[in-house]
Structure 1
Amino acid sequence: MVLRFTTSYLEDAISLFRYYKKLGDQAMEQLTDEQLFLALDDETNSIAVIVKHMAGNMLSRWTDFLTTDGEKPDRNRDGEFCEPPATRAALHACWEEGWACLFGAIEPLTEADLARTITIRGEAHSVMQAINRQLAHYPHHIGQIVLLARHMAGGQWRTLSVPRNRSQEFNRLVAAGEASQR
């Protein structure tokens, strides 16, 4: 993601959400189907479980978020941490559904909407606070996905940012307008 100057909070927030989604996409693309469902031990989540949780959160938070509580009564948060979708295709569909819900909710917003009051778990939030809350939550989980993917891919990993020990080369590419990563 090449940083683009903006004074629009919404434009920047949408850009950041897209950037983190792309990191998750690129990390997961580097893994085998089996690796997506592998947990390091009994106390950690697989990437598939993290994806299921994120999608459940997105669907709850962003469906009719201006008019209904962001914690929907039919959400089963505890269930998000077990039995993920069984295949890569089903997992991908779950991931895309969550992100589509998020973008469908925030892309039509205007700067004036940022001061509107919504609720999450019965607690009042401005729309801006709700966006910020998720801009902290989702990158946290994307970081988990990237770390797990990096670990599982081992020597086959293709970096998602500045390659180790190549900062100077990367800076030259940025200066020349040839770098496509942040």
Structure 2
Amino acid sequence: MPFEHSPILQSIAQQCHRYEAMGTAAILAVKSSEVAFQPDPSCNSLGTLVKHMHGNMRSRFVNFMQEDGEKDWRERDDEFVNSFETQEELLKAWEEAWKVFWDAVEPFSDTDLDRVVYIRSEPHSILHALHRHMAHNAYHVGQMIYLAKMLRKEEWKSLSIPVGKSEEFTQKKRAEAKRALAEGDLRPDLDLNQITLPSRDLAKSVEFYEHLGAILIVDSLPRYARFWVPNGGTTFSLHHVEEPLHDPRTVIYFECRDVDAQVERLKSLGMEFLSDPTDERWLWREARLKDPDGHEICLYHAGVNRVNPPWKVQP
């Protein structure tokens, strides 16, 4: 399986294969005489949608690492003028566009995700560029399906859970998961994404963590506050306590793409560090400081070595 050692890339590939297949189903559902159909003059036809996505994918992923994703030869405005006449032409262009995409991304591994590419001179990590690609495809594939469904009416075959079958589908999936768990084929669902810390001065601590880059999402001062860390989707919270905090062994880790730049920024805000950025023997680059309550904070970058270090336990 492609990307078998990269859960992130594997997840992106699964979704992209899904969008590709859904777009193919929409194309196969229409007749050649319907390629240029527009429900309204302001709307795109299936032909213009495929032409636009074909142009977009070729521009973005031809010479993906070497050239800007907005190529000089691209004529974006012309992509919204349909030039397809048959279903076969649509399908050929659709398959060609996706081949360009897959040829560009299949060599990647987790170590590539932080590398930088450019789209209209704007820097993107490869991970950001792939997420941008997924969002763009999801937007337009949805339009393709809507048009195909409008044209086929009652003949349309649902690509998701049919109306009226939601409960049946849910019960089926639950039964499958229960059976797989009983047979040892599925691990219990587990995701560590929330930590709560005690704090004697929430106001100071809230200011500290906002400076770090966390986003305050629950403000119940002076009793409680919760933050969201957008890059990983994790949340953590602070709750007020009166008693002294005695345990110095707890360390909270925040990963950042550029530890040195983050440390420099925080020092400019007056924060003092226990240690400056250092390459550790476990292949993480770390810097440490303390929050107002004395909790030790580690800012680090591990990249692939967080989950897949060279000494990872092999199954």
TM norm structure 1: 0.89
SS in structure 2 opposite 1:115? coil
Structure number with higher strand proportion: 2
Counterpart residue number, 1:111: 110
Larger Rg: 2
Q: Which of 32-41 and 149-158 deviates more?
A: 32-41
CA deviations over 1:40-75 (Å, ceiling 9, x no partner): 121111011100000100000001111100000000
Measured after TM superposition, the shift of residue 169 of structure 1 is 2.0
Bigger relative contact order, structure 1 or 2 (CA pairs below 8 A, ≥6 apart): 1
Alignment of 1:1-150 (within 5 A): 8-150=7-149
| TM-score w.r.t. length of structure 2 | 0.53
Which consecutive residues of structure 2, in runs of 5 or more, have no partner in the other structure? 177-315
CA distance in 2, matches of 1:59, 1:158: 30
Superposition RMSD in Å = 1.5
Structure having the larger proportion of residues in helix:
1
Give the number of equivalent residue pairs: 172
- Inter-partner Cα distance in structure 2 for 1:173 and 1:40: 37
Report deviation, 1:175: 4.3
CA distance in 1, matches of 2:86, 2:146: 21
**80-89 vs 145-154, which moves further:** 80-89
The Cα offsets for residues 3-54 of structure 1, whole Å up to 9 and x where unpaired, read as xxx9611111011000011111112222222222211121111011100000
What stretches of structure 1 of length at least 5 have no aligned partner?
1-5, 178-182
Shift of 1:84: 2.4
Distance (Å, rounded) in 1 between the aligned partners of 2:92 and 2:65: 25
Q: Is the 8 A contact 1:14 1:107 kept in 2?
A: no
Question: What amino acid is aligned across from residue 17 of structure 1 in structure 2?
Answer: C
- Measure how far apart 1:86 and its partner are: 2.2
Q: Return closer, same or farther for 1:37/1:173 CA change in 2, 3 Å cut-off.
A: farther
- 8 Å Cα contact 2:32/2:85 also seen in 1: no
Question: Percent identical across equivalent pairs?
Answer: 35
Question: C-alpha separation between the residues in 2 aligned to 1:104 and 1:56?
Answer: 16
CA 1:7 to 1:106, structure 2 compared with 1: closer, same or farther past 3 Å?
closer
Judging changes above 3 Å, is the alpha-carbon distance between structure 1 residues 110 and 35 closer, same or farther for their aligned structure 2 residues? same
* Letter matched to residue 138 of structure 1: N
SS at match of 1:83: coil
* SS of equivalent residue, structure 1 residue 131: helix
Matching of residue 151 in structure 1 with residue 157 in structure 2: no
CA–CA separation in structure 2 for the residues paired with 1:149 and 1:83: 16
Q: Which amino acid aligns with 2:62?
A: T
Check conservation: 1:116, 1:127, Cα contact below 8 A. yes
Q: Partner of 2:113: helix, strand, or coil?
A: helix
